[in-house]
Amino acid sequence: MQTETTDHKKFKNLKETGLVPQYALVPLLSMLLLNVVVYFLTGRMTGGMKHYDISVSLDAKIPFLPVFIIPYLSAYAQWIVCYITVARSGRDYCYKVIGAEMVSRLIICVCYVLLPTIMVRGTITGIDPFSQLTALLYRIDAPTNLFPSNHCLESYICLRTALEMKRGRGYKSAMTIMSILVILSTLFVRQHLILDLFGSVLVAETGFLVVKFLN
């Protein structure tokens, strides 16, 4: 009860700064810019390079479940809520999380350049809305630069921070459930491979370790 009261006061005090405190604006925008640069830069750098398929035998046994396109696309809303919450949780914690995310993003950039990956996606024959939405995603997003998974990285950070921060049980539960659904969705809509998931967790934890080491 005391924790909830403290958090309520903290959020009340931050109302004057708007939805996002001023100290978090530059870090958040820098993080967003880095994400965009890494995504487009690595795509151009590795376009003519050999890409590797790092799938394992278990990947072939994972069913295609187009309904999971909903949590896959909803992940963007989860990330927005997560980073706004992180930003409003204090300057030090905000800088810690965003710093870890940016370090992780730089590691991902190196991975994409040194180990360009690709996967084989099946042909979508379903005519239901979920299948058609997944087919649209396939046309927009090529099955390359998979390891580690960006989706899994961000949703894992959402899960990690939700468990760390002093927030209500509802927020923790919602972020936990959503993170699990997003991570599973990357497999069920055939956007990523199993190793991509493990790689994203390893990269995220490395990012937090680097930030902790650098204080």
Please, what's the b/e burial string for 127-138 (b: 16 or more CB within 10 A of its CB; e: otherwise)? eeebbebbbebb
**Ranges of each domain in the chain:** 2-214
For 39-97, write each residue's pLDDT tens digit.
Answer: 888 888 888 899 999 999 999 999 999 999 999 999 999 999 999 999 999 999 999 99
Tell me, what's the pLDDT at 81? 97
pLDDT tens-digit readout, 130-177:
999 999 999 999 899 899 999 999 999 999 999 999 899 999 999 999
Give the model's pLDDT for residue 17.
55
* 152 and 130 Cβ atoms separated by less than 8 Å: no
Cα distance between residue 106 and residue 38, in whole Å: 8
pTM reported for the whole predicted model: 0.88
Neighbours of 36 (CB within 10 A): 10
Torsion on CA atoms 73, 77, 83, 87, rounded to nearest 10: 170
Residue 118 DSSP symbol: B
pLDDT at 2: 46
